[in-house]
Chains A and B, each alone.
Chain A
Amino acid sequence: VQLQESAPGLVRPSGTLSLTCAVSGGSVRSSSWWGWVRQPPGKGLEWIGEIYHTGTTNYNPSLKSRVTISVDKSKNEFSLILTSVTAADAAVYFCARQASTTSYYFDLWGQGTLVSVSS
């Protein structure tokens, strides 16, 4: 199974960031959650949110008013939308599979895509 993020590159301040994570070699309908994590340049990891193939979502409260995660089973992909973007949203964005067995853990990651915020 592989994950591949789309690459929007540059987003304008106050604009909307839109990313897609394509799942290959597996199915978004599997018994896994699918999530997004971001990492500002030189900083640590921040969990953004997750979705199950049924559409159930969980979001980081710090971003909840601006974030939407969705899944498209027909395209075998899931997506992240972040509105009202500011410079603080500039980061490498990773999509990841969150396995759910005896625990929850991100066992598979995309390579990450750098999002810059500038006018």
Chain B
Amino acid sequence: DIQMTQFPSSLSASVGDRVTITCRASQTMNNYLNWYQQKPGKAPKLLIYGTATLQSGVPSRFSGSGSGTDFTLTISSLQLEDCATYYCQQTYSVPRTFGQGTRVEIK
């Protein structure tokens, strides 16, 4: 199995701050890396797929990058509505594992 290590596990930032979340895979995975946002009581929402492709309708302040085993999700200017938990997921191989999640709070 490919293990996904996500960090930090939580962070607190101010509105307007630049926020970066990192996901590290236990082996290379050909950029089959996705990012989801989940708010309490809701299903996850796809933000980024294939490492860097923004899902339709997702604000452009979200971006993804990376290669090999290290990937990042960046929120260029944090907004109140971005308060959520963020998960990375690899879909290069089965099982299609998720990271442990990063909780983003607003100061």
Contacts and interface: CB of A to CB of B under 8 A. Distances in A.
Contacts of A112: 43
Q: How large is the interface on B (under 10, 10 to 19, 20 to 34, 35 or more residues)?
A: 20 to 34
Interface of B: 1, 31-32, 34, 36, 38, 42-46, 49-50, 53, 55, 87, 89, 91, 94-101
Contacts, number: 68
B96 A47 contact: yes
B50 A46 contact: no
A109 B46 CA distance: 9
B43 A110 contact: yes
A65 to B, nearest CB: 14
Q: Is the interface of B mostly helix, strand, loop or mixed?
A: loop
A70 B7 CA distance: 35
B88 to A, nearest CB: 10
B98 to A, nearest CB: 4
Nearest to A99: B49
A103 B98 contact: no
